[in-house]
A = this chain, B = another copy of it.
Amino acid sequence: MSLLVVGSVALDDIEAPAGNVKSVLGGAACYCSVAASYFVRAQAVGVTGDDFPQAHLDFLASRGVDLAGVTRAPGRTFRWGGRYHSSLNQRDTLFTDLGVFERFDPVLPASYCDAPFVFLANIHPTLQRSVIDQARAPRFSAMDTMNFWIEGERAELERTLSRVTGLVINDEEAHLLTGESNLVRAADAIRALGPTTVIVKRGEHGALLFDEAGIFAAPAFPLREVQDPTGAGDSFAGGFMGALAAGGSLAVDAMRRAVIYGSVLASFCVERFSLDRFRTLTRAEIDERFEQFRRLTSF
């Protein structure tokens, strides 16, 4: 089973109470592919500049990520800088240099077009739709988006939403997209736009899954130390989509377990800067934390 992942490949500068790092591996496609790689073969689609270190590509390849869809363009890689406040719940964007990502036009290698599971990370909704058009018949396709597209490209976004099975966004985006301050009604409104499955990410408060079966609430794993929240949402999406693709079932129980796996991957992601935790993380550690989630929630 494979999972197609489209999104940014980036070099990040991060300032956080635990330290500052510069030009580290980042980008939604990287976080999502690597998180998914513990479950399935991830087929990444993205673009790097000619300044992108080979060592980062080697790391992605070492996780089994298929890089046939990652092209190299003349120019600079997408760079993003962020500074986290002491609570880690708030961050300021210090800069966004799109570089070669500005002209990103995802083209699927022929070997990707039959991917049964597809995740469209946060890119222009028109590009997300072009990927759906290229994929032949995914069994389950989900997307992320952001306030920029919700406010500036609503018509395109709604056209794309009508083409996917799932939407994975955060609570602020859910409110912005629907005008509903109540999350249950917001999820109803989103499902009326197309996606049958809506996952609302709430950072340290966990995630909510809304689908035909009702509502499932997953907590975030309570961590004693968080170094860098960057990529938590994309790691969640990768763990969720990867676990779903590996199981091959879209039944209620499979969805719920996949949400927990997403939460597990997000919880590991934030323990270190960049994707560093994934450099040592094992599947056994993932399964152990999955069981810790049972103890965390059982009554």
A interface residues with partner B (beta carbon < 8 Å): 86-88, 175, 181-185, 202, 204-206, 208, 214-219, 222-226, 253, 256-257, 259-260, 294-299
Contacts and interface: CB of A to CB of B under 8 A. Distances in A.
12 contacts: A182-B223, A184-B224, A202-B205, A206-B219, A208-B222, A214-B296, A215-B222, A215-B296, A218-B299, A219-B219, A294-B299, A297-B299
Nearest to A258: B299
Contacts of A219: 206, 217, 219
A182 B215 CA distance: 28
B223 A181 contact: no
A297 B217 contact: yes
A200 B224 CA distance: 15
Interface class of chain A by DSSP: mixed
Given A217-B206, A219-B217, A219-B219, A299 B253 contact: yes
Pick the most buried of A216, A223, A299: most chain B CB atoms within 10 A of its CB.
A299
A228 to B, nearest CB: 14
A262 to B, nearest CB: 12
Nearest to A88: B181
A286 B219 CA distance: 23
A294 B297 CA distance: 10
